[in-house]
Structure 1
Amino acid sequence: MKKSIKWIKIIGLFAFFYWLCLFSSSSFYGNFNLYTTIKSEDGDYYANIYKHLPTSPISIMQILGGNKYFIVLYNKKGEELWRVSYFEYISEQVMYEMISFPDKTNNDFICATNHGLEGHDFSTTIRNHKVVSIK
């Protein structure tokens, strides 16, 4: 019994440090690391740009290289709709190149990253800013 508890603790610690090294730099975000907010023209959406936290060797190297931001899309109610990958580190110069918000004619959110354009097509979930069932 004691041996199995010891192994559970070791596996738990390993999983925690593995998570810390890969995901933690953008896992937690809020007003404490908010860089700026960009709003859509109609006011129905906004994108918060957050700073990565220097919590892992990967994030520290990216931040020192100038890639210190990530983007999260919200609707006007403040509900999170989409975010870039946990592994995406965006530089300041690329961040303002292009951001396209969903509107009444196009349901795509597109933002520029260091690896090209990223985004999400909300056609199946948002129609005129209302959630619809997917068939």
Structure 2
Amino acid sequence: MKKSIKWIKIIGLFAFFYWLCLFSSSSFYGNFNLYTTIKSEDGEYYANIYKHLPTSPISIMQILGGNKYFVVLYNKKGEELWRCSYFEYISEEAFYDRMSFPNKTSNCFLFFTNHGIDGHDFSETIRNHKVVQIK
């Protein structure tokens, strides 16, 4: 019995440290690590840019290298629609380029990262916009 409890503790600690090293730097976000907010032109959406927390060796190295931000998309009601990957570390220079929010001609949210463009297609989930077919 004592041996099985010991193994459960070891597995639990391993899982906690695994989570701490990989996901924790962007798992928790709110006003305490909010960097800036970018709103869409029509006011339907906004993207909050948050700072990663220095909680793991990976995040500390990325933050020291200048890649310290991640993006979360919200609708005007404040409901979270999408967030970038836990492994996405974006530099401040990438945000100087424009973000593309869902609108009447496209249901895509796109933004620039250090390695190209990232985002999400909301064609199946956003029902408040009619997508106009471009010929």
1:29 correspondence with 2:29: yes
1:42 correspondence with 2:52: no
Matching residue of 1:83: 83
Matching residue of 1:57: 57
Q: SS where residue 63 of structure 2 aligns?
A: helix
Cα distance between partner residues in 2 of 1:29 and 1:42: 25
The code of the aligned residue for 1:124 comes to E
Runs of 4 or more consecutive aligned structure 1 residues displaced over 3 Å after TM superposition:
none
Cα distance between partner residues in 2 of 1:96 and 1:4: 54
TM-score where L is the length of structure 2: 0.93
1:103/1:128 contact within 8 Å kept: no
Q: SS where residue 59 of structure 1 aligns?
A: helix
1:124 correspondence with 2:124: yes
Cα distance between partner residues in 2 of 1:24 and 1:96: 26
1:21/1:57 contact within 8 Å kept: yes
Matching residue of 2:133: none
TM-score where L is the length of structure 1: 0.93
Q: Which runs of 5+ in 1 are unaligned?
A: 131-135
Q: Which runs of 5+ in 2 are unaligned?
A: 131-135
Alpha-carbon distance, 1:125 to partner: 0.7
Alpha-carbon distance, 1:86 to partner: 0.3
Give per-residue Cα distances to partners, 1:14-58, cap 9 Å, x unaligned: 000010000000000000000000000111100000000000010
Cα distance between partner residues in 2 of 1:95 and 1:101: 14
Matching residue of 1:133: none
**Percentage identity across paired residues of the two chains:** 86
Structure with the largest fraction of strand: 1
